[in-house]
Amino acid sequence: MTAPTPTQPRPGGHRRRTLLGAALAIALSASLAACSSGDTPSENASASGPVTLEFWTWSLKGSDPAAKAIADKYHQLNPNVTVKLSEVGGTTETASKLLAADQAGDTPDVVQIEYRGLPALVVAGAVKDITADVAGAKANVEPNIWAQTTFGGQVYGVPQDIGPMVLTYRKDLFDKFGVKVPATWDEYAEAAAQIRKKDPEAYIASFAANQLEFFAAHAAQAGAQWWSTDGNAWKVGIDGEASLKTADFWQDLVERDLVKVEPLLTPEWNAQVNNGKILSWAAAAWAPSVIYSVAPDTAGKWESAPLPQWTKGQAAVPFLGGSAYLVPAKSQHAQEAAKFAAWLGASEEGSKLLLGLDLFPGGNAGRQATLTHEPPKLMPQQKDFYQVTDQVIKNTTIPVTWGPNVNVAQTAFGDVLNKAALDKTSFRAVYQATQQAVVADLQKSGYTVTK
Average pLDDT over residues 125-133: 97
DSSP, res 105 = T
Radius of gyration of the chain (CA): 21
Alpha carbon separation from 299 to 169, 264, 341, 347, 371 (Å, rounded): 12, 19, 33, 32, 20
Specify the pLDDT at position 90: 73
**Which domain, by its residues, includes 179?**
165-320+385-445
Tell me whether residue 417 is in a domain: yes
Distance, in Å, from the CA atom of 317 to the CA atom of 164, rounded to the nearest integer, reads 8
Residue 29 has pLDDT above 90, yes or no: no
- pLDDT tens for 387-430 read 999 999 888 778 788 888 999 999 999 989 999 999 999 999 99
Which CATH number characterizes residue 158's domain?
3.40.190.10
C-alpha torsion sign, points 69, 113, 43, 102? negative
pLDDT over 50 (residue 275): yes
- Asked whether residue 297 carries a pLDDT value surpassing 60, the answer given is yes
Q: 316 and 350: one domain?
A: no
**Of 304, 115, 148, 279, which is closest to residue 202 (Cα–Cα)?**
279
Write down the mean pLDDT value for the chain.
88
What's the confidence (pLDDT) of residue 18? 43
pLDDT of 57 strictly over 90: yes
Residue 151: name the closest of 320, 18, 37, 258 by CA: 18
Sheet arrangement for strand 51-57: 81-87, 51-57, 110-114, 322-326, 158-162
Check residue 401 and give its pLDDT.
84
Give a yes or no: residue 20 inside a domain: no
pTM for this prediction: 0.84
For residues 307 and 221, state if they share a domain: yes
Give residue 48's pLDDT band: very low, low, confident or very high (50, 70, 90): low
User: Do 278 and 427 sit in the same domain of this protein?
Assistant: yes
**Number of structural domains, the chain?**
2
Instruction: Please indicate, yes or no, if residue 118 is contained in any of the structural domains.
Output: yes
Residue 273 lies in a domain: yes
More reliable by pLDDT, 251 or 152: 251
In a domain, 14, yes or no: no
Query: What is the distance between the alpha carbons of residues 68 and 412, in angstroms, rounded to a whole number?
Result: 40
Please determine, for residue 247, whether its predicted confidence score (pLDDT) is greater than 60. yes
Strand order in the sheet with 227-230: 227-230, 233-236, 448-450
